[in-house]
Amino acid sequence: MAKLSGFIFAVASLSIPAFASQACTSIYNLTVPGAEVLNITSVLQSNVSTPAFPPGPTEGGLSFCDVTVVLTHPGENDTVTTEVWLPLTGWNGRFQATGGGGFLSGIGPAELGPAIVQGYAAASTDGGNIGLGIGINPAAFTSDGPLPGIMADYIYRSVHDMAVIGKAVTASYYGKAPNYSYWNGCSTGGRQGLQAAQAYPDDFDGIMAACPAINLAEALIAIEWPYIVMNNDKTAPSQCVFNAFLNASIAQCDELDGVKDGLISNVTGCAFDPYQLVGTQVLCDGTNVTISEAVATVYRKILDGPKSPSGDSLWPGLYVGVRTDDLYPGDAHTVTTNGTTVAVPFPVGDEWVTYFLERNSSFDTHSITYADVPELFAESVSSYGNDSSNNPNLSPFQKAGGKLIVWHGLSDNLLPPAGTLRYRQKVEELLGGTDAVNDFWRLFFVPGVSHCGGGYGPVPTDALAAVVAWVENGTAPDTLPAEYVNYSGATVNHDICKYPLVSRYDGKGDPKVASSYTCAESFEPAS
């Protein structure tokens, strides 16, 4: 390895053009306002394979310049690492910053690989490592809670630094600045994108923010709520029993949108009553299980969301039609072993209570009572409400010419979609109503889809492409193309309509074809 001015450069023994090597190893003069750059490492990579996120086909045979920048913010005692991948050939002239999940600020290769395959220069950040995997990093916490510098990195600062670094490294490598810069993320990544629009409106020309974990202080109590319910009611339904409620709700509400397709599109119009299943039997692992009133009560409370003991709603719950046994176990996760079922908390909600609110790594979340919930909710909002990425004033982003697409699965099993709707409504109240906000932000609610994908509904196939078309060509999307494989194994194409419109079946076409649907103001079937 060569060393120059305190920076380390490594060049792998690869069969690649000399100019690529020279361009990669010349990236060393970098300034990040408000931060001190500690180290820059540049490595030429060849024939690399990466996973994809959400899980999908592996990206293989990748060659790129891999630049890692380590920095700190003076006085903050933090260390933040940003990685930038630069395709050796076929750069599309764009920069893409990618997001994280849970307490992880960036997912790294699983998102960088797909981005450079499409020709983007792409970046990911560890956000100072408040998280390890999806859960927290205990080293980032003291008895007073999260270290202030690391909390700032996680909420807002590391994304801005990544934008500065990514654009500068891209310009250094290719000899010109990117023509356009984009954000692409889901869950925490969705929150980070909206936070960037709120705090740094000039960082990105376009933002794709799916299933955003905004309203952080409120939403994380909502994530913990099903675990609290099952513990307090001493009733944990098996996933098989949960599926009985799912199937019954689909049977009742599937055709509210005018077509029988196995989806609940009209979730707010679905008056499903879980108590109607009391006394019925469901076959689970070869045994007939009778659904009790206690089980129906648990299901009702999960849909209702966190409440005070007096019944006051604190935050919305999950929508009817949620799939609890999805690829990513959600809020209402249970595990059955030898006939005994226990509730399993989702780590993000559980660790939020343990480390952020109780500030005690030994705290037993199993002991939380219904009476404790309002106090926990109030503490969460009081301590972290300003860190919840839900500032409705998007006017600076609008004035900067930025474009934003948000989609959220109506069957999200982690983050209540109603939280995203509440945020949208606040933005509309502030900025002049639905049409005014639609000029720069299009929102899409997707039936049957779980958190960031999965579930049993049509997942948007390339929402970022819609952002790019809007930014670069002025093509504002009225629909998002989406696709899934239904229960019979058939591929279904379905366009998702922009909020507040809904998809309405034309009454005669093939329900598996997108052209059989139109966007309408209500779910009333076509005459």
Q: For residue 18, what pLDDT is reported?
A: 56
Whole-number Cα distances in Å, 304 to 222, 300, 450: 10, 6, 18
Q: For residue 17, what pLDDT is reported?
A: 53
Q: For residue 20, what pLDDT is reported?
A: 67
Q: For residue 58, what pLDDT is reported?
A: 60
User: Is residue 411 over pLDDT 90?
Assistant: yes
User: Is residue 329 over pLDDT 70?
Assistant: yes
Instruction: Note whether residue 145 is domain-resident.
Output: no
The catalytically annotated residue of 412, 450, 503, 516 is 412
User: Is residue 524 over pLDDT 70?
Assistant: no
Whole-number Cα distances in Å, 136 to 132, 152, 350: 6, 15, 10
User: Is residue 13 over pLDDT 50?
Assistant: no
User: Is residue 10 over pLDDT 50?
Assistant: no
Instruction: Note whether residue 233 is domain-resident.
Output: yes
Instruction: Note whether residue 251 is domain-resident.
Output: yes
Burial (CB count <10 Å: 0-12, 13-18, 19+), residue 444: buried
pLDDT digits (tens, 9 = 90+) for 202-218: 999 999 999 999 999 99
User: Is residue 278 over pLDDT 90?
Assistant: yes
Give me the sign of the Cα torsion angle 26, 32, 38, 39: negative
pLDDT digits (tens, 9 = 90+) for 36-90: 999 999 999 998 988 766 656 566 789 999 999 999 999 999 999 999 999 999 9
Instruction: Note whether residue 276 is domain-resident.
Output: yes
Q: Is 187 a catalytic residue?
A: yes
Task: Give me the percent of the chain exceeding a pLDDT of 90.
Answer: 84
Query: In whole angstroms, what is the distance from residue 491 CA to residue 488 CA?
Result: 9
Rg (CA), the chain: 24
Q: Is 412 a catalytic residue?
A: yes
Alpha-carbon torsion angle 22, 23, 25, 30, nearest 10: 150
The catalytically annotated residue of 42, 181, 187, 450 is 187
Give the domain range for residue 316.
Answer: 218-385
Query: In whole angstroms, what is the distance from residue 106 CA to residue 296 CA?
Result: 39
Instruction: Note whether residue 509 is domain-resident.
Output: no
Give me the sign of the Cα torsion angle 490, 185, 304, 229: positive
Average pLDDT, whole number, for the chain?
92
Instruction: Note whether residue 305 is domain-resident.
Output: yes
Q: For residue 26, what pLDDT is reported?
A: 83
Q: For residue 4, what pLDDT is reported?
A: 28
Instruction: Note whether residue 231 is domain-resident.
Output: yes
Instruction: Note whether residue 104 is domain-resident.
Output: no
Q: Is 495 a catalytic residue?
A: no
Q: For residue 11, what pLDDT is reported?
A: 33
pLDDT digits (tens, 9 = 90+) for 89-104: 999 999 999 999 999 9
The catalytically annotated residue of 451, 494, 503, 516 is 451
Q: For residue 5, what pLDDT is reported?
A: 29
User: Is residue 6 over pLDDT 50?
Assistant: no
Q: Which residue from 265, 215, 193 is spatially nearest to 418, judged by alpha carbons?
A: 215
The number of domains in the chain is: 1
